[in-house]
């Protein structure tokens, strides 16, 4: 789950809510949809599917988030197997380990409804994506990788950018659901790992920006320039867009709480990018530098701060 659109200024949540309310069940032949995993992103996705008028089933390890959504109109089920009886199931789990435990090592795929399409929204490794695709195919289950750019606030507005890869016919089937939760679907290939590769590389580039911004702001600050004004200059001229403006302002203000995306998750995604590059026999020299930066930030007790805190590894 990412961040790229966290700082978008043009999101009109009222427009998205109105669009969702016009979205009716008659437009979706599949009927029901499940959401498995109800962290901040999963809850936002499930809530928008409910608002779209879809019969939405939810499951979570802890009951609280599922009960909250049940009050909003979702159906809380007791097991993943029950959720996989829906024609379409989204999963929004934290990492490779969680995904493997719930879907690949539990035997639950053998209990799924024939023909179900499983949409994996999580940021997972390329290797896990391949393993998941093979396991689903062996059970006759459709599998689509659909990681997203956009933090929880963007998900709540129904404005995620969805990075989709898998069989085109499967993506066609779930596109109406994507329309209910996102502003654009980017079709990136027929192999699910292609979407996961794009996602981890996008996160890698954000980490590179944070590191370089931290260096530049440190020098500007030491020279007597106002850090906030310096960041505004960069974001308004050379580097317009949400990453420089959003993360730049956090760095200038040294404001790393509340965390929209933690340092621990940032290090995890950096390692995924390094592994993806190694799998293609490509080196990421800057990524190796970042590995040390993230490790030091976590050793300094900043694991639960926003990952923009890696800028603090630069001397002030």
Torsion of CA 210, 214, 215, 221, to 10 degrees: 150
Q: Write down the catalytic residue from 199, 267, 268, 302.
A: 199
User: Which pair of tokens denotes residue 304?
Assistant: 């639960």
Report how far apart, in Å, the C-alpha atoms of 208 and of each of 227, 262, 301, 311, 312 are.
19, 16, 21, 10, 14
Please give the Cα distance from 50 to 20 (Å, whole number). 9
Please give the Cα distance from 145 to 191 (Å, whole number). 8
Q: Is 266 exposed, middle or buried (0-12, 13-18, 19+ CB in 10 A)?
A: buried
Measured over the CA atoms of residue 265, residue 271, residue 276 and residue 282, the dihedral's sign is: positive
Q: How far apart are the first and last CA of the chain?
A: 31
What single DSSP character describes residue 86? S
> Is the Cβ–Cβ distance between 202 and 150 less than 8 Å?
no
User: Residue 145 is inside which H or E element, if any?
Assistant: strand 142-145
Instruction: Report which of 298, 272, 290, 274 is spatially closest to residue 2, judged by C-alpha positions.
Output: 272
Q: Is 268 a catalytic residue?
A: no
> Is the Cβ–Cβ distance between 74 and 57 less than 8 Å?
yes
Residue 185 backbone dihedrals phi, psi, to 5 degrees: -110, 125
Q: What residues are paired with 160 via a beta bridge?
A: 182
> Is the Cβ–Cβ distance between 179 and 159 less than 8 Å?
no
Report how far apart, in Å, the C-alpha atoms of 71 and of each of 18, 25, 32, 79, 198 are.
21, 20, 18, 19, 36
| Residue positions annotated with a catalytic role | 199
């Amino acid at each position: 789950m990412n961040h790229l659109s966290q700082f978008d200024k043009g999101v009109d949540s009222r427009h998205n809510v109105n669009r969702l309310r016009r979205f009716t069940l008659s437009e979706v032949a599949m009927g029901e949809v499940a959401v498995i995993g109800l962290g901040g992103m999963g809850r936002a996705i499930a809530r928008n599917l409910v608002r779209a008028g879809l019969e939405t089933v939810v499951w979570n390890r802890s009951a609280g988030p599922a009960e909250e959504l049940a009050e909003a109109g979702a159906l809380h089920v007791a097991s993943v197997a029950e959720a996989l009886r829906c024609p379409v199931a989204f999963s929004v789990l934290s990492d490779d380990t969680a995904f493997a435990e719930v879907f690949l090592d539990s035997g639950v795929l053998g209990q799924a409804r024939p023909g179900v399409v499983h949409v994996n929204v999580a940021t997972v490794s390329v290797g896990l994506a391949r393993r998941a695709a093979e396991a689903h195919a062996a059970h006759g289950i459709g599998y689509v990788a659909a990681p997203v750019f956009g933090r929880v606030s963007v998900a709540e507005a129904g404005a995620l950018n969805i990075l989709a890869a898998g069989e085109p016919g499967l993506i066609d089937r779930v596109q109406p659901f994507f329309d209910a939760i996102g502003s654009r679907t980017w079709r990136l290939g027929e192999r699910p790992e292609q979407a996961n590769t794009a996602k981890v590389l996008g996160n890698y580039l954000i980490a590179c920006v944070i590191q370089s911004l931290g260096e530049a702001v440190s020098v500007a600050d030491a020279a007597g320039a106002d850090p906030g004004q310096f960041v505004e200059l960069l974001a308004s001229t050379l580097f317009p867009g949400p990453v420089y403006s959003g993360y730049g302002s956090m760095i200038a203000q040294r404001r790393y709480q509340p965390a929209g995306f933690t340092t621990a998750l940032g290090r995890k995604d950096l390692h995924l990018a390094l592994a993806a590059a190694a799998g293609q026999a490509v080196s990421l020299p800057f990524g190796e530098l970042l590995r040390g930066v993230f490790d030091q930030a976590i050793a300094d007790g900043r694991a639960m701060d926003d990952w923009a805190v890696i800028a603090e590894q630069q001397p002030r």
